């Protein structure tokens, strides 16, 4: 327990006095350093959490949660018990081609759906879908917004698509070409997808790219896409002879890199807190030196060594704890308004802080995670506790006789 005397002396030592000017500067820098370290850690973790969540939502919104692929025979899913875990079951097929618009051409991925299935896609049923018709008829295509910008296309325009497969002629094998009409424009929020994928009718794609029904994939859209590994095992038991892959498998390297980067950033930024915490050692050591006479007087009137330890230990803990909570407040506030801050800095200094073509997202995401904040707080306070022990122990070992000998 902490006695009233120990509390009084602790708060007396914490008060700023003119003769302790240098000591006060060190204490202020310790406070600022720890607050800054905690705040930066929370901001970086929030941005990285938000980036991962947004990326997952965009990828899950564009791709199937689980895909079943079998190139030996058509996939039979009608008698399979998938209703408990799935919302939609959609057949699809894909190929590659080249889209040609006047003097411009671009390599693209062609993805085919049946008319009735295309309108079930989450991507088609959001506010960023442009076009009244949500069905893919024989000679119509749906393109991404970025692709429409790069090729200057609008709804109703005609484009030529060249297939990667060819047709035999008397002069050799020539690539197939077909003219399509743009019937709708979608926007997934991921520039890479919006600029490289085109949707068209499934049967048209198969005829155009020399594909068959055995090449079709079964796209499974789950009720709970986050618990993907558990759902994958269930589907593997249902389709034991087919290839099963999920949205997480298709982007494994990306999310592994994000996880590694997040852990590395946590370690690196924690060093800010450690460096700031070492300022507490300096401050407490100088405080012990300046208060040598006071410590000697306290000991001479019967104050125990344990009480001296508690007093200087509390000084360090109070500085570190208040700095931590101030840093949490700053970090949460900054994380909450980070997109507004980014827009202000970008417009004021004409800087591009979050380019879409690199990060795939148009806005800077942020997700405040309570568990991350608790972990950062515990680490900061624990470091403060550890660095406060040595100066407190040193203060308790002062000899009052030697300290007061020349007073």
Give the pLDDT score at 16.
Answer: 56
What DSSP designation does 228 have?
Answer: H
Percent with pLDDT over 90 in the chain: 3
Task: Write out residues in the chain with pLDDT < 50, as ranges.
Answer: none
Hey, CA dihedral for 383, 365, 147, 67, is it positive or negative?
positive
What DSSP designation does 213 have?
Answer: G
Q: What pLDDT, in 10s, does the model give residues 69-98?
A: 876 777 776 766 777 677 788 888 888 888
Q: What pLDDT, in 10s, does the model give residues 315-334?
A: 888 888 888 999 999 999 99
* pTM check: above 0.85: no
Is the separation of the CB atoms in 91 and 136 below 8 Å?
A: no
- Reduce the DSSP state of residue 259 to 3 states and report it: helix
Burial group, residue 189, by CB count within 10 angstroms (0-12, 13-18, 19+)? buried
Give the pLDDT score at 332.
Answer: 93
Q: What pLDDT, in 10s, does the model give residues 115-158?
A: 888 888 888 877 778 887 777 888 889 988 888 888 888 888 89
Nearest of 340, 334, 337, 324 to residue 373 by alpha carbon:
324
What DSSP designation does 144 have?
Answer: E
Residues 131, 124: Cα–Cα separation, whole Å: 10
Give the pLDDT score at 276.
Answer: 78
């Amino acid at each position: 327990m902490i006695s009233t005397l120990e509390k009084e002396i602790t708060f007396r030592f914490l008060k700023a006095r003119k003769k302790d000017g240098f000591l006060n500067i060190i204490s202020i820098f310790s406070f600022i350093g720890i607050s800054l370290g905690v705040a930066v850690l929370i901001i970086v973790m929030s941005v990285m959490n938000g980036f991962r969540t947004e990326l997952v939502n965009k990828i899950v919104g564009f791709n199937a949660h689980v895909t079943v692929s079998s190139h030996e025979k058509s996939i039979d899913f009608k008698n399979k018990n998938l209703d408990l875990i799935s919302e939609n079951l959609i057949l699809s097929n894909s190929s590659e081609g080249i889209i040609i618009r006047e003097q411009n051409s671009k390599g693209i991925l062609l993805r085919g759906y049946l008319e009735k299935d295309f309108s079930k896609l989450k991507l088609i049923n959001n506010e960023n879908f442009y076009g009244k018709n949500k069905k893919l008829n024989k000679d119509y295509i749906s393109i991404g917004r970025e692709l429409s910008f790069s090729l200057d296309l609008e709804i109703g325009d005609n484009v030529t698509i060249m297939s990667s497969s060819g047709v035999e002629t008397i002069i050799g094998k020539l690539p197939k070409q077909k003219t399509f009409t743009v019937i709708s424009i979608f926007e997934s929020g991921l520039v890479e997808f919006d600029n490289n994928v085109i949707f068209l009718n499934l049967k048209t794609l198969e005829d155009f790219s020399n594909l068959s029904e055995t090449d079709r994939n079964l796209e499974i859209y789950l009720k709970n896409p986050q618990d993907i590994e558990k759902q994958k095992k269930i589907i593997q038991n249902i389709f034991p002879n087919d290839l099963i892959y999920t949205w997480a498998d298709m982007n494994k390297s990306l999310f592994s890199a994000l996880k590694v980067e997040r852990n590395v950033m946590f370690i690196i930024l924690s060093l800010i807190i450690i460096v700031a915490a070492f300022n507490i050692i300096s401050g407490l050591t100088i405080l012990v030196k300046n208060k040598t006479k006071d410590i000697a007087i306290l000991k001479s009137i019967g104050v125990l060594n344990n009480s001296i330890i508690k007093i200087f230990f509390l000084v360090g803990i109070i500085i570190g704890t208040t700095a931590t909570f101030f840093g949490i407040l700053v970090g949460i506030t900054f994380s909450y308004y980070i997109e507004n801050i980014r827009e202000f800095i970008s417009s004021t200094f004409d800087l591009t802080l979050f380019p879409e073509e690199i990060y795939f997202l148009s806005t800077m995401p942020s997700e405040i995670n309570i568990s991350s904040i608790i972990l950062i707080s515990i680490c900061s306070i624990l470091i403060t506790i550890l660095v406060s022990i040595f100066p407190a122990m040193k203060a308790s070992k002062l000899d009052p006789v030697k300290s007061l000998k020349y007073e």
